[in-house]
Amino acid sequence: MHIAEGFLPPLHAAAWTAVSLPFVMVSARRVNRLMQDQPQFKLLLAASGAFAFVLSALKLPSVTGSCSHATGTGLGAILFGPSVMALLGTIVLLFQALLLAHGGLTTLGANVFSMAIVGPWVAYGLLRGTQGLNAPLAVSVFLAAMLGDMATYTVTAGQLALAFPDPASGVLGSFIKFMGVFAPTQLPLAVIEGLLTVVIVNLLRQYSSDELRDLQAFPRLFTVEVRP
């Protein structure tokens, strides 16, 4: 989902930056407040960011014969609510843009929007929605993380389609083309992201049940302590 440096026309780059900036600013304030009001969560928040750091660094092979990577932003969205992930995702993307020439500064706004904003919000929405339907927590978490990942790549395809419409079939034709590049490759990776997120949530429920109980985002979800 990394749109490479310079690969969005200046107008699009500026527009996506303008869209993402308020989310990142609100996120920074929320993270700041969380640190002040509930400093006991510092480490869990850092661990959620770390999860995104690992998963977005691992390029995995896919059935299509190409490689892609997961996003890892679902976990933090599930634990802390989606708004804190905008800041954490931006840090990950900045690291990759500056040190790895992966993504870029001009495309940072667009990449933040797909990976650090839409992905987490979709994950959060799915978690709440499926919990409302009384799905088992593991199923909810799996779907949230997996479809949050897919949503990120769908947004990237949309961003590229808007910037580069197909001369014959327009934005829609271009969107289908970019989805053809991303979606089949991403699907098994999104499943992997879902599975790993469930593993981490299982471990958290086992070892950090007291901490999860105090989380503001989903206190109810995690109150049932799971013992082996």
1 part of the interface to another protein, by CB under 8 A: yes
Among residues 59, 170, 214, 223, the one that binds another protein under rule CB under 8 A: 59
Residue 33 corresponds to which amino acid? R
Q: Minimum distance from CB of 32 to another protein (Å)?
A: 20
Contact range with another protein by CB under 8 A, out of 64-72, 81-89, 113-121, 125-133: 64-72
57 part of the interface to another protein, by CB under 8 A: yes
136 part of the interface to another protein, by CB under 8 A: no
Residue 30 corresponds to which amino acid? R
Give the residue with the Cβ less far from another protein, 22 or 80.
80
223 part of the interface to another protein, by CB under 8 A: no
Distance from C-alpha of 127 to C-alpha of 140, rounded to nearest angstrom: 5
Distance from C-alpha of 87 to C-alpha of 49, rounded to nearest angstrom: 9
Q: Which helix (H) or strand (E) holds 5?
A: none
Distance from C-alpha of 193 to C-alpha of 188, rounded to nearest angstrom: 9
User: Please, which of residues 149-168 interact with another protein by CB under 8 A?
Assistant: 156-157, 160, 163-167
Distance from C-alpha of 168 to C-alpha of 221, rounded to nearest angstrom: 49
Q: Are the C-beta atoms of 115 and 95 separated by less than 8 Å? A: no
Q: Minimum distance from CB of 185 to another protein (Å)?
A: 5
* DSSP letter, residue 9: -
Among residues 52, 137, 145, 217, the one that binds another protein under rule CB under 8 A: 52
185 part of the interface to another protein, by CB under 8 A: yes
